Structure formats: structure tokens, C-alpha cells
Amino acid sequence: MQYDTQHPSRAMAVANWFLERSWQDQTKPHCDQMKLYKLVFYAHAWYIGNCRRELFPEDVKAWPHGPVVPDLYSSFSVFKSGAITHLGKRLEVVNGAAQFVEPKHDGSLTDFFESIWCSYGEKTGIELSNMTHLKGEPWTIVAEKYGFDLSSKPTIPTEIIEAVFVEKVAHATQAQTVKA
């Protein structure tokens, strides 16, 4: 399902793609909340870095353990630190009636999502969280601005994500050119 011309997906559809992929791949650590939130963040960030537009419209917030899309937390917080065992749902209007649906991606970005899974799927939620806390990462930039007091759970501005990940794309492209 194409959502709009500005955003090819919704955060919940991206999360559901990663959940289904994780259930197929029993060789990698299970998806708990922390891992899922970071996979969704990295998909969003790399999409912005490559395409210069957001993957989904929802805000990414700087929570103490890294980037989180609050809409996902409402669906998956019941799992605490355990493996997530069901797809997320959103309240949407379908044929004029409000109902809970399990958003799915239309398949147009499967190769992109697969590349994120191949890069990050073997990591645990803690490892991914630690990666988001490295110097120069969007979460760290925002956390430093707030003196690492993230009790207000501030938004990580898209402009910061874009600046960091456009640079990462440029470095990756340059590294590929040097190898060739």
C-alpha cells in the first residue's frame, strides 16, 4: 500500500516487515523492543541518507536507550525485554470505518529493507542501542544538546538525521569507488 507521495511507508509497516523477517531467520537474535525500534530507525535514517526524504512521517524521539517511534512503543511495550510475537496494529479508517489493521509494506522497498536486515539483523537490541549512542550519531547530537537529560523525549530532527546519514552514504560511496 502506497501511503502518500512524501512518505512511501508508515513506521508500523516497517516494523512489521522486520518482525516477519526476523521470524523467518532463526539464526539471528530475536526482535525485542529495543532491537525493533533501532532497526526501524536505521531503515528510516539510511532511507533519508540515500533518498533525501523521509521513509515514514512519524517523529523519531530521543529516548534514554536510543531512537524510538512512540507509535511503536504503544503496540510493543507489553513484550518488555522478551521476543515480540505478533505484528503491530494501527487504528485506521478503512471503507469509512475505524478498525485496527496490521500495516504491511507494499513490497517496493523489500530489497532496501533486506539490506538493513543484512547489516543490522545479527545484532542485539543492546548492541544497536550502543551504536546509536556513538559520537556524531543523531541520538547523541540531540542528547548532548539536552545535557543527556532526555526525560522530555525530544524529537530527533529530520535535518540532523539527514546530515549524518547523507555523510555516511557519501563515505560508503567513496569507499566503493576506491575499491573499484
State the total domains in the chain.
1
Average predicted confidence (pLDDT) for the chain: 91
Closest CA to 54 of 41, 72, 37: 41
Domain residues for the domain of 108 are 11-179
Answer whether 118's CB lies under 8 Å from 34's CB.
no
| Mean pLDDT of the region 109-113 | 96
Confidence of residue 104 (pLDDT cuts 50, 70, 90): confident
Residue 4 in any domain: the answer is no
Residue at 57 is within a domain: yes
Task: Record the cell numbers describing residue 101, joined without a space.
Answer: 489493521
pLDDT the model gives residue 63? 97
Query: Over 50: is that where the pLDDT of 121 sits?
Result: yes
| pLDDT one-digit tens code per residue, 31-76 | 999 999 999 999 999 999 999 999 999 999 999 999 999 999 999 9
On whether residue 30 sits in a domain, the answer given is: yes
Note whether residue 31 is domain-resident. Answer: yes
Asked if residue 83 belongs to a domain, the reply is yes
2 part of a folded domain: no
Three cell numbers, residue 53 = 526524504
pLDDT tens digits, one per residue of 154-179: 999 999 999 999 999 998 877 666 55
With 50 as the cut, is the pLDDT of residue 143 above it? yes
Cβ neighbors of 142 (< 8 A, separation 6 or more) are 62, 150, 154, 156, 157, 160
Residue-level pLDDT at 3: 43
Position 61 in a domain: yes
Total Cβ atoms within 10 A of residue 131: 15
Task: Kindly state whether residue 153 falls inside one of the protein's structural domains.
Answer: yes
